[in-house]
Amino acid sequence: MLLDLSEVLACPVCGPPQIMVAVVHESEGRRVARGFLGCPACDGRFRIDSGVVRLLSATAPSPEPAESDSFSLPSGVEETAVLVGAVLDLAGESGCVLLGPGLAGIAGSLAAIAGRSEVVSFTHAAPHPPVAAPNLSTIVVSGDGPLPVLEGRFRAAALCGEPGEARIREVAAALRPPGRLAILAPAPGAAHAMRDAGLHVVAADERVAVASKSP
């Protein structure tokens, strides 16, 4: 996990805007291999092992929900990563890119083309074997509930399928203008939900819907 991610993640128990503090036990440069994120408000501690953060609320019965986290991509992994990289305009500028649950399969490929951006992959199950890339952070989150992210911190985001209106609103809030949101293989109402979330839809077909956040 990139050390600076403590500036974009919220406590999964308290929710945003509650921030957390990284306690590092082992690191390589600015990447935390082992340690934890601690919440000063609820005293929650969230483990970082082999660079993977587990942001599960204490009420979650098992550390790793059994449900799988694979979304059937509209095309191959590489092709999908290239499509996402292009519609989100990831070349060039640095910043954090939010990858929603279901898209962990393209995280490594997207990181490879994301240049100076950090890909932050939220998943329900840590990938085995772990995917290593110099600009990829994997965050394991509970199956339900909001993503533990702070508002206005991500330069771009990608979701898939039918994320639901609540998830679209939450990710729209996490974007920093003029950040873009892409939804892969969008459900029919996706573009409408993006507009309702205050985004400007720039493209929408059966492969991907893309919207940007106005300053």
Sheet of strand 208-213, all strands in order from the earlier edge strand to the far edge: 21-28, 31-38, 45-49, 52-55, 136-141, 117-123, 95-99, 154-160, 175-184, 208-213, 199-204
Of 58 and 202, CB closest to Zn ion: 58
Q: Which stretch binds Zn ion (CB under 5 A): 12-20, 25-33, 62-70, 187-195?
A: 12-20
Binding Zn ion by CB under 5 A: which of 9, 13, 96, 157? 13
Q: How far is the CB of 167 from Zn ion (least distance, A)?
A: 21
Of 14 and 86, CB closest to Zn ion: 14
* By CB under 5 A, residue 41 contacts Zn ion: yes
Of 21 and 91, CB closest to Zn ion: 21
Q: Which stretch binds Zn ion (CB under 5 A): 44-52, 60-68, 91-99, 136-144?
A: 44-52
At position 119, the amino acid (one-letter code) is V
* By CB under 5 A, residue 42 contacts Zn ion: yes
**Beta-carbon contacts of residue 61 (< 8 Å; ≥ 6 apart):** none
Cβ–Cβ < 8 Å for 55, 27? no
Torsion region of 16: left, alpha or beta (phi above 0 gives left; psi -120 to 50 gives alpha): beta
Binding Zn ion by CB under 5 A: which of 11, 48, 81, 191? 11
Other CB atoms within 10 Å distance of the CB of residue 144:
9
Q: How far is the CB of 43 from Zn ion (least distance, A)?
A: 8
Q: What are phi and psi of 25, to 5 degrees?
A: -100, -30
| List of residues contacting Zn ion (CB under 5 A) | 11, 13-14, 39, 41-42, 44
